[in-house]
Amino acid sequence: MRTITVSASKSYDVRIGEGLLDAAGALLRETADGQTAAVVSDETVAALYGRRLTKTLAQNGYRTEPYVFPVGETSKNAETFLSLLDFLAEKKLSRADVVVALGGGVAGDLAGFAAACYMRGVRFAQIPTTLLAAVDSSVGGKTAVNLAAGKNLAGAFYQPDAVICDVSLLSTLPQEVFLDGCAEVIKTGIIADRALFDALETPVPAQLEDVIARCVEIKRDIVAEDEFEHGRRKLLNFGHTAGHAIELLSGYQTSHGRAVAVGMAIATRAAVRMGLCGEDCLREVLAMLRRYELPVSTRYGADALAAACLSDKKRDGGVLTMVFPAEIGRCVLRDVPVGELESVIASGLEV
C-alpha cells in the first residue's frame, strides 16, 4: 500500500493499493470515530461493492446506511442532493459520523457536497471506483452538483478525511469508462509531467498503480499550493472550458472524460494558432488522445460552444481563464475576453 499525504486546509492520507476495500473499515477508524457510515453510491457500484464495504464497516463498529441513486451524471443535481441531505437527517447522522462516497466522480462530488453542507460539515471519505475518480476527483476537495445553467454551479471546497483507492475495483469498469479516466491522466501529463505523458506509450492497465500514484502526487502538489483555485489549480481545468460546454449541450450524454478530451484538442489547436505552442505539441496531444480511443472533434459549432461556456462557473467578470499548452508537461493560463471566446474556440475546431 502506498500513502500520499495531502496537506491543505485539512491534512489527509490517500491510500492506494490492491484489496484495500476489505480494509476500509479499519482505515476509516483511523480518522472517524462515529457509529454510522452513510455510504453513497450509484446502483451499479452498490450492487458490485456495497456488501463488501458494509462487512468491513460492521467489523469496525460502524452501522451502514446505504444511499443508492440512479447511475449517471444526470443524478448529480440539486434534487438528488436535497434527497441525500434528507436521508442523512432521517438516519440521524451526527457530526461524529461519516459520509462515504463509494463510486466514481458523480458519487464523490454529490456525497462530498452533502457532507460539506449537512450540519455545516461532517466527516467524509472517498473510495474511488473509477480511474477518473482515483486520479482526479477523489483528491483535492472539489465537490458540486450541476444546475440547469451548467456544470458544478453549486458546490464547495471540502477536503475528505480519507481517500481509500483499491485499484482492483477498477477491473470491473467498462472499457469506455476506463478510457474516460485515461483522458484525465493524459491531462495531468500535459499540464505537469512530460515523463508521465511519455510513460502513457505503455498502456495504463500495465502500470495502473504507478499512474494513479503519480497523478495523485501531482494533484497533491497543486492543491497544497492553491487549494481554492486562485491561480495554479486552474491548470487542472485544461480541456474543461469547451469540455463542460459539450457535456451541457449533449444533455450529459457525452461523458466527462470524452468531453474533456475534445476540450483539450480544441485548446491545443487554438494554442498553436495563438503561437503558444508548436505543431509538434499538437501532433503529440492528438496522437495520445487517439491512442486511448478518445475523441478529438465535436459536432457542436463555436457559437453554441461559446454560449454554453458562458454559463460555466469559470467566468470571472468579462474574461474566462483558459488553459493552453506551451509544451507537453507545461501549460499556461490566459484570460480570454468574453467577446473573443467564440473566435478562440473556432480556431480550435477541426476544419
Which of these is catalytic: 234, 237, 247, 258? Answer: 237
Task: Give the shortest CB-13-to-ligand GLY separation in angstroms.
Answer: 18
104 binds ligand NAD (CB under 6 A): yes
How far is the C-alpha of 258 from the C-alpha of 254, rounded, in Å? 7
Q: Cβ closer to ligand GLY: 43 or 221?
A: 221
Q: Which does 106 bind (CB under 5 to 8 A by kind): ligand GLY, ligand NAD, none?
A: ligand NAD
* Interface pattern 244-273 for ligand GLY (x via CB under 6 A): ------------------------------
One of 34, 36, 42, 262 touching ligand NAD (CB under 6 A):
42
Most distant pair of Cα atoms in the chain: their distance = 60
Task: Give the shortest CB-184-to-ligand GLY separation in angstroms.
Answer: 8
- Give residue number: closest CB to ligand GLY: 236
Would you list the DSSP string of 294-345? Answer: -----SS-HHHHHHHHTTSTTEETTEEEEEEEEETTEEEEEEEEGGGHHHHH
Which of these is catalytic: 15, 76, 142, 234? Answer: 142
Residues 226-245 that bind ligand GLY (CB under 6 A): 233, 236-237
Place of cell 467564440: 342
Q: Between 256-273 and 279-291, two packed helices, what is the crossing angle to 10 degrees?
A: 160
Residue type, 47: A
120 is catalytic: yes
* Interface pattern 223-262 for ligand NAD (x via CB under 6 A): ---------------------------------xx-----
Q: Which stretch binds ligand NAD (CB under 6 A): 25-33, 77-85, 124-132, 272-280?
A: 124-132
Q: What phi, psi does 35 have (nearest 5°)? A: -105, -20
Q: Which stretch binds ligand NAD (CB under 6 A): 5-13, 167-175, 287-295, 335-343?
A: 167-175
233 is catalytic: yes
24 binds ligand NAD (CB under 6 A): no
Would you list the DSSP string of 18-52? Answer: TTGGGGHHHHHHTT---SEEEEEEEHHHHHHHHHH
Find out whether 262 and 306 touch, Cβ atoms under 8 Å: no
Place of cell 476509516: 28
How far is the C-alpha of 53 from the C-alpha of 102, rounded, in Å? 9
230 is catalytic: no
How far is the C-alpha of 232 from the C-alpha of 71, rounded, in Å? 33
One of 140, 181, 239, 325 touching ligand GLY (CB under 6 A):
140
Task: Give the shortest CB-236-to-ligand GLY separation in angstroms.
Answer: 4
Distances (CA, A) of 100 to 142, 167, 210, 215, 349: 15, 17, 25, 22, 40
How far is the C-alpha of 71 from the C-alpha of 48, rounded, in Å? 13
One of 21, 27, 127, 132 touching ligand NAD (CB under 6 A):
132
44 binds ligand NAD (CB under 6 A): yes
Terminal-residue alpha carbon distance, the chain: 47
Which residues contact ligand NAD by CB under 6 A?
A: 42, 44-45, 48, 71-73, 76, 103-107, 109, 129-130, 132-133, 136-137, 140, 142, 169-170, 172-173, 177, 180, 256-257
